[in-house]
């Protein structure tokens, strides 16, 4: 789809400087520009590229002052970075605006769906499923019996929603995610084998949640595993049964949260961090990568690092000292020898 510089300026409230009718149909970094591409300049470090870019249109700040001639058409705005981000969101929305039910998809006769549904090839929608308006379900996704999906939610290819999973509005679930598999519940028996504990709960995902590729969220033993509004989960995150993640929390890749742990609001968890079970984590807690969290966090808005975790400042001091441990050991050894020598002289 092609857009003129004038049309783009109208979308972002900008002023055209150059040919208003020049057309673009894709985006590119300013240093990698080509005819028909749209770029932006926000970081002064990239200013030299604007004089040599081949992009047809470049979005710049109103304050930008050219030092020599520029071949591209400029669109001047208050904030070039924010305006370009707005255009990317618009472009992404346009490119993902799929509608219609494929003849190769299956939807149970008991399922209910709103308007503008997209159901891709070999997608499966089970019994008594409820789908809102403008829901998009990509090929080979599985929506189990009794699931509910809210308006404007996108479920990408290969996602699996087990029975009775509830997903809110404006959510995005990326390929390969598995939501609602059984929690890891097994009772050891006297003869050494493990007896499976039925997992009869479900997973509830509130509005505006994004779930990364190949992330897994287990159904609860009873009640619900609950992901609150605005949570962002990276790829390869694992949340065990009965976990609760508070509003607007963000968990990076390969984080693992054991059963019945509750994270508060606005928590941030670095990659490869792990939580033991049955913890309560205070609002605003922040954990660096590879943290090992083994106890409750009661005070809000604290930062931590390490395994087991330490307050960030304490961790940094300890880590700095650890780098000198060989030198300290040599000094200690020398002191011990000196003490022994002094003792022998008396």
Active site residues: 241
Q: Would you say 120 and 135 are in contact if contact means Cβ atoms under 8 Å apart?
A: no
Strands 57-61 and 148-149: unpaired
- Which residues make Cβ contacts (< 8 Å) with residue 288, sequence separation at least 6? 270, 273, 303, 304, 305, 306, 312
- Token duo for residue 232: 């962002």
Q: How far is CA 314 from CA 303, 306, 310, in A?
A: 10, 10, 6
Query: Is the CB of residue 108 less than 8 Å from the CB of residue 102?
Result: no
**Long-range contact pairs involving 99-107 (C-beta distance under 8 Å, separation at least 24):** 102/139
SS3 content of the chain, % helix, strand, coil (to 5): 20, 30, 50
- Coil, helix or strand for 97? coil
| Cα 91 → chain centroid | 20
Sequence length of the chain is 346
The encoded tokens of residue 278 equal 């049955």
- Residue 310's Cβ-side half-sphere holds a number of Cα atoms within 13 Å equal to 10
Give burial (CB, 10 Å; 0-12/13-18/19+) of 197: middle
10-30 CB burial, b ≥16 within 10 A, e <16: eebebebbbeeebbbeebbeb
Contact 278, 296 (CB under 8 A): no
């Amino acid at each position: 789809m092609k857009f003129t510089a004038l049309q783009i300026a109208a979308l972002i409230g900008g002023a055209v400087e150059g040919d208003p009718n020049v057309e673009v149909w894709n985006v590119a970094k300013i240093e990698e520009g080509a005819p028909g591409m749209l770029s932006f300049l926000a970081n002064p470090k990239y200013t030299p590229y604007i004089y040599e870019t081949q992009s047809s249109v470049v979005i710049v700040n109103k304050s930008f002052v050219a030092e020599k001639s520029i071949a591209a058409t400029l669109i001047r705005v208050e904030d070039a970075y924010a305006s370009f981000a707005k255009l990317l969101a618009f472009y992404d929305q346009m490119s993902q605006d799929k509608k219609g039910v494929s003849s190769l998809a299956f939807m149970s006769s008991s399922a209910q769906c709103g308007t503008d549904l997209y159901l891709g090839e070999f997608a499966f929608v089970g019994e008594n499923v409820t789908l809102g308006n403008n829901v998009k379900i990509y090929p080979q996704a599985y929506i189990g019996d009794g699931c509910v999906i809210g308006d404007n939610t996108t479920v990408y290819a290969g996602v699996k929603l087990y029975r009775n999973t509830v997903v809110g509005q404006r959510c995005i679930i990326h390929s390969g995610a598995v939501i609602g598999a059984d929690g890891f519940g097994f009772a050891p028996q006297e003869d050494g084998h493990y007896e499976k504990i039925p997992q009869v709960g479900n997973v509830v995902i509130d509005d505006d949640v994004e779930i990364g590729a190949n992330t897994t969220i287990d159904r609860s033993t009873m009640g619900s595993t609950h992901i609150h509004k605005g949570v962002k989960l990276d790829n390869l995150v694992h949340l065990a049964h009965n976990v609760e993640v508070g509003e607007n929390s963000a968990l990076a890749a390969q984080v693992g949260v054991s059963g019945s742990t509750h994270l508060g609001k606005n928590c941030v968890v670095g990659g490869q961090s792990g939580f033991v079970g049955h913890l309560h984590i205070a609002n605003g807690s922040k954990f660096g990568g590879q943290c090992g969290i083994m106890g409750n966090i009661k005070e809000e808005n604290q930062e931590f690092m390490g395994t087991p975790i330490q307050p960030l400042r304490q961790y940094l001091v300890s880590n700095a000292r650890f780098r000198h441990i060989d030198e300290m050991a040599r000094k200690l050894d020398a002191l011990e020898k000196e003490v022994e020598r002094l003792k022998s002289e008396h």
